[in-house]
Amino acid sequence: MKWMYLLMSIVGGIAIGIQAIVNGGLGKKVGTIEASFISFLIGTIALFITMLFFGKGNFFAFNDVPKWQLIGGLLGAFYVFIMVMTVPKIGVTAAFFSIIAGQILIAVIIDHFGLFGGQTYPLNIRKALAILLMFGSMYLFNQK
């Protein structure tokens, strides 16, 4: 069953890759902040409609969660803004090498220390080597 979640993650990554170039093009036409807003507005409308028809949770329970858990939308908006700004300047691949490197770096820290209520998955020498190789590939990819 784990393979299904890995496959779903790959499909999510494909969607984000397409989103980057689409939003980058939108940003060139309407402006960086404007494109970020339009992207989130369309996404918010789509999620609202999906929630109305398929939602099974309790929307109003957001009052009961720790307030720091509500920053996800801000982080997502920041991510979209960064991608709208960088993709037209450095391309999708270079932007994603950097984005993925940042994601892996913070993910390792979160997993190692079990931050934000997550389980602990300690960093070991194999994982550290994989991270070094990733940064090395990012360096090689961006060399002229």
For 105-123, how does the pLDDT look when each residue is reduced to its tens digit (9 = 90+)? 999 999 999 999 889 999 9
For residue 96, the model assigns a pLDDT of 87
* Average pLDDT across the chain, whole number: 91
Backbone torsions φ then ψ of 83, nearest 5 degrees: -65, -40
Asked if residue 81 lies in contact with residue 19, where contact means CB atoms within 8 angstroms, the answer is no
The full DSSP string for 25-41 is HHHHHH-HHHHHHHHHH
Residue 125 pLDDT greater than 80, yes or no: yes
Average pLDDT over residues 64-82: 91
Asked if residue 21 lies in contact with residue 87, where contact means CB atoms within 8 angstroms, the answer is yes
Measured CA to CA, the distance from residue 90 to residue 18 in angstroms comes to: 15
CA angle 47, 22, 100 (to 5 degrees): 85
**Position with higher pLDDT, 33 vs 142:** 33
Residue 1 pLDDT greater than 80, yes or no: no
Which of 27, 17, 9, 33 has its CA nearest to residue 99?
17
Query: Lowest mean pLDDT: which of 3-12, 29-38, 82-91, 125-134?
Result: 3-12
Radius of gyration, alpha carbons of the chain: 18
Domain ranges of the chain: 20-85, 91-144
